[in-house]
Structure 1
Amino acid sequence: MTLDDLRVFVAVCRTGSLSGVARELGCTQSAVSQHVKRLERETGVTLLERRPRGTVPTAAGRILYEAAADGITGLDRALRTLDDLANGAGGSVRVGTGGATLRHFMAEAIVGFRRRNPRLSLEFRTETSSRRCFDALLANTLDLAWITIGAPVPGIEQRPVVDLPWVLAVRADDPLADRSTVDAADLTDLRLVRLPPNSLSGARLDAAFTELGVRVASDTSVADWDTALLLTELGLGPTVVPAVPGLRVPGDGPLRLVPVPALPALPVGWAVRRWDALTPLARAFADTVAATCTEQSTIVRRQAVS
């Protein structure tokens, strides 16, 4: 039994695909199978089960997976720390995020944190969904991931940072622009620039609309909140987006943000493998982002109702 055997086995359990792991490692599927078979010979039990939709660990396999995954995470963290000591580096923090996330949630924190830790290596990796963030965390290619908080995920700890209220963005000449708030009923039959339904924030918004009996139409959808605001500014229709920290809409500009208090706030925050396994630098970075987000979110709420 080798460390490589365990790494491959953990990867197969995580992805549910021998061929997927082979592509990831740049080897053959047969080579991946050999790693698993060696573990099965030494343990004397069957560790994986083939199913129509992929490969899953058996009951014995789950026991080994949980122990190996935790052990590999700790070992990789120790190896990174030793590498920092050997090379005289200031350490590193690997963060899963996107461009809009950096702009609205992390920009101020990054500047201050780097100033306090000038030798720190900050590595940002763009992920297209919370699911991909979770996979990267489980594979130990990320320390932290910024996500929309959702249902519990095995092997992942989620920590809410801030609840984002929803606002209706309209052009300044729209009849709703001068409202102090918008009722849910006022949204019915609007043709909105919509968030994608396969995103967690879009799904949350659609679920809230359904619960409130709000029927909206749309012939335009976008992948992120900033693009939705831009298309509204260009006249393609109003949009409903979270009032994110760092969002600035000048009072004499083309847009107005009107709070929609009936919609439940959207919780966002950090996902990690294990909080107690984070390096001190990663934990400090997460805390710095949380503190600045809380402060900026308070400013945005006041701005939205003024």
Structure 2
Amino acid sequence: MTLDDLRVFVAVCRAGSLSSVARELGCTQSAVSQHVKRLEGETGVVLLERQPRGVVPTQAGRVLETAAAEGISGLDLAVRQLRDLLDGESGYVRVATGATTVRHFMSEAVVAYRRRHPRVNLEFRTVSSGRGSLDALADGTLDLAWITLGPPVRGIEQRPVVELPWVLAVRADDPLAERPCIDAADLAGVRLIRLPPNSASAAHLDAACAESGVRFAQDTSVADWDTALLLAELGVGRAVVPALPGLAVPGSGDLRLLPVPALRPLPVGWAVRRWDALSPPARAFADLVESCRRG
């Protein structure tokens, strides 16, 4: 049983596919399978169950995956910390985020950080979901994740940075555009452009509306807030979105952003595996983003 065996096994459990891990590692599917077979031979149990579309860990496989992921994460963290102690200001910071987050929450901090820490590599990685970000933090693939904050997650620490009020985005010629603000009741029955229902921000919005006794219909679904704003500006529909930094309220030009003060604001911020174990470069970046947002 080697560290490589365990790394490959964890990757297969996360991906649910031998072939996708093989492509990622640049090797054959047979080579990936050999890592798993070696672990099964040494443990004496079946670790993966083959299904028509990929593989899933067995009960024994889930036990090994959890232990291996925690162990690998701890080793990777120790190696990074040793490198930081040796190199001082060099190293890298791996952040789960997307273009919308960088544009609205981090642009100022990224410029300032690059000026202050020119030898540190910043790596921004797009992760398809908040759950994916938390998994990547747990297994040590990422250092920081900018997320919509939610319920406590075992093994993950969350730090709130800012609360975003909700606004209704409409085109300037929309009948609602001249209102100074929107009451939550005005959203009842309105067909809205919205984020995918399984996203954390969409779940928060649903809960906030439910608190006000409001339900609205779905229309076009988009992957990010900027796309929702663009479609609203084009007159494709209306969108309830957070008041992102850098956007004027109530809005100008072809787009109007009307406050919806009755809805509970959206909390966003950092998620990490352990704050006290962050590398100095990662902690400096997180603190700088937080300082820029609160300043």
* TM-score normalised by structure 1 residue count: 0.79
**How far is 1:18 from its partner?**
4.1
Does the aligned pair in 2 maintain the 1:168–1:260 contact within 8 Å?
A: yes
Cα offsets for 1:119-177 (capped at 9, x unmatched): 22111122232233234334433211212223444544333322221111234454434
Q: Does 1:259 align with 2:228?
A: no
CA distance in 2: counterparts of 1:164 and 1:182, whole angstroms: 16
Distance 1:28 1:165 in 2: 50
1: CA distance between counterparts of 2:18 and 2:38?
Answer: 15
Question: After the TM superposition, which residues 206-221 of structure 1 pair with which residues of structure 2 at under 5 Å, given as runs?
Answer: 206-210=206-210, 212-221=212-221
In 1, the alpha carbon distance for the partners of 2:231 and 2:38 equals 56
| Matching residue of 2:190 | 190
1:58 corresponds to: 59
Find the aligned partners of 1:88 and 1:279 in 2 and give their Cα distance. 10
The percentage of counterpart residues that share the same residue type is 69
2:249–2:258 Cα contact (<8 Å) kept? no
- Aligned residue in 2 for 1:304: none
- Secondary structure of the structure 2 residue equivalent to 1:290: helix
- Taking a change above 3 Å as real, the CA distance of residues 158 and 57 of structure 1, as seen in their structure-2 partners, is farther
> Structure 1 counterpart of 2:158, which letter?
Q
Equivalent AA in structure 1 for residue 77 of structure 2: R
DSSP 3-state at the match of 2:146:
strand
Q: Which region of structure 1 is more displaced relative to structure 2, 68-77 or 101-110?
A: 68-77
* CA distance in 2 between partners of 1:84 and 1:202 (Å): 38
Distance in 2 (CA, whole Å) between partners of 1:107 and 1:208 is 29
TM-score by length of 2: 0.82
Aligned to 1:25: 25
Segments of 5+ residues of structure 2 without an aligned counterpart are: none
Give the alignment's Cα RMSD to 1 decimal: 3.2
Provide closer, same or farther for how the CA distance between residues 144 and 253 of structure 1 changes in structure 2, counting only shifts above 3 A: same
Q: Distance in 2 between matches of 1:271 and 1:19?
A: 30
Separation in 2, partners of 1:197, 1:66: 28
Q: Is the 8 A contact 2:164 2:266 kept in 1?
A: yes
Q: Residues 154 and 33 from structure 1, CA distance in 2 versus in 1: closer, same or farther, beyond 3 angstroms? A: farther
Look up the match of 1:71: 71
Which stretch of structure 1 is more off in the superposition, 136-145 or 94-103? 136-145
TM superposition shift of 1:266: 1.6
Worse-matched range after superposition: 135-144 or 111-120? 135-144
CA contact (8 A) 1:91 1:120 kept: yes
Q: Report the Cα offset of residue 68 of structure 1.
A: 3.1
Given the superposition, is the C-alpha separation of residues 139 and 252 from structure 1 closer, same or farther in structure 2, using an over 3 Å criterion? Answer: closer
SS of aligned partner of 2:161: strand
Mapped partners of 2:141, 2:17: distance in 1: 18
Counterparts of 2:153 and 2:15, CA distance in 1: 14
CA deviation after TM superposition for structure 1 residue 241, in Å:
0.6
Change (3 A) 1:73 1:212: same
Deviations 1:38-79 (A, max 9, x none): 33444x4536252758422535x5554444323322332344
Instruction: Return 5+ residue gaps in structure 1 as ranges.
Output: 296-306
Q: Aligned partners of 2:29, 2:203: CA distance in 1, in Å?
A: 36
Aligned twin of 1:302: none
Q: Is the CA contact (8 Å cut-off) linking 1:13 and 1:57 kept in structure 2? A: no
Give yes or no for contact 2:157–2:271 (8 Å, CA) kept in 1: yes
CA distance in 2, matches of 1:159, 1:15: 28
Contact 1:171 1:255 (C-alpha < 8 Å) held by counterparts: yes
Aligned residues: 293
1:87 CA displacement:
7.8
Q: Given residue 202 of structure 2, which amino acid in structure 1 is its aligned partner?
A: G
Q: Is the 8 A contact 2:89 2:117 kept in 1?
A: no
